[in-house]
Amino acid sequence: MSSTDNTHAETDSTDLQIKRQELEELRSRLERLEADLIAAEARPGWQATEYYSAYYATAGFLMGIFGAVTSLVFNIVGAVAVGKSPLELIRVYLTFPLGEKALQLAQGQKVYAVDDGVILAFGCCLYLGTGMVLGIPVYMALTRFSADGGLPKRLLVASLVSLAIWAFNFYAILSWLQPLLIGGDPGNWITNSEYLPWWVAAATHLVFGWTIALLYPLGEYHPYRRPTERRGNVPG
């Protein structure tokens, strides 16, 4: 055998050794990656270990719009039944920014340059937005005090919290804040029973709270579980 053939044979042998070494390294790396994946999948995913305030506040914020819609429909039906404007509640609600002129909306009088319907629609949006904000304390109270109870307990908690919100907002804040900021006579249209009877305001808040209590299961927190974790609990 010539020296050239020996050189080629040595080169081929060296190349094979290099390739085998690279293959072993790749196999070793593959094994490490597989071990890391198995370990990662075996670890439980992130879960809230304490009261998940941010989640429940967000859920309450979303639930609040449904409570607001239901209470608004309740008022529309009630107002029509007693011969008042369907949006009587919204007109009284708008007295906070607009004063007494809000009571003249939708009565055939041109109160503002903007169409009355547009102003009332804006008032409805404000009402729904307020409901979303108030939905936060109602829903968080439900998660705190009735999470382990059934519907009757949720309705009781929702009733107490809703009435507390009504009493505080109406008589601890609006009774003096509206006359102070808006003025006029009498100035406190929202808390004046001549324009909004107390029992109507209380019933509106109750319907709001009851709606959130009924929808409570839709906002419950359930930790995410990987498909592998779910399969692992399926009986073989």
Q: How do residues 183-222 score in pLDDT, each as one tens digit? A: 877 888 999 988 899 999 999 999 999 999 999 999 998 8
Q: Is it the case that residue 172 has pLDDT exceeding 90?
A: yes
CA distance 2 to 9: 11
Beta-carbon contacts of residue 53 (< 8 Å; ≥ 6 apart): 140
Question: With contact defined as beta carbons under 8 Å apart, do 51 and 141 qualify?
Answer: no
Question: With contact defined as beta carbons under 8 Å apart, do 139 and 63 qualify?
Answer: yes
Question: With contact defined as beta carbons under 8 Å apart, do 190 and 176 qualify?
Answer: no
Beta-carbon contacts of residue 114 (< 8 Å; ≥ 6 apart): none
The pLDDT-based confidence of 113 (bands split at 50, 70, 90) is very low
CA distance 39 to 89: 59
User: E-assigned strands of 5-121?
Assistant: none
Kindly report the average pLDDT of the chain as a whole number. Answer: 85
CB atoms within 10 A of CB 217: 8
Residue type, 234: V
Dihedral, CA atoms, 60, 65, 67, 73, nearest 10 degrees?
A: 180
CA distance 224 to 236: 22
Q: How do residues 38-83 score in pLDDT, each as one tens digit? A: 777 666 666 777 888 999 999 999 999 999 999 999 999 999 998 8
CA distances (Å), origin 219, targets 54, 149, 214, 216, 226: 12, 15, 11, 6, 20
- Domain coordinates in residue numbering, the chain: 1-37, 59-219
CA distances (Å), origin 155, targets 147, 151, 163, 185, 214: 12, 6, 12, 38, 8
CA distances (Å), origin 233, targets 17, 38, 227, 229, 236: 47, 17, 10, 7, 9
CA distance 130 to 165: 12
Q: Is it the case that residue 141 has pLDDT exceeding 70?
A: yes
pLDDT at 151: 94
Bond prior to 44 in cis (omega within 30° of 0): no
CA distance 120 to 87: 8
Residue among 184, 144, 179 at smallest CA distance from 161:
144
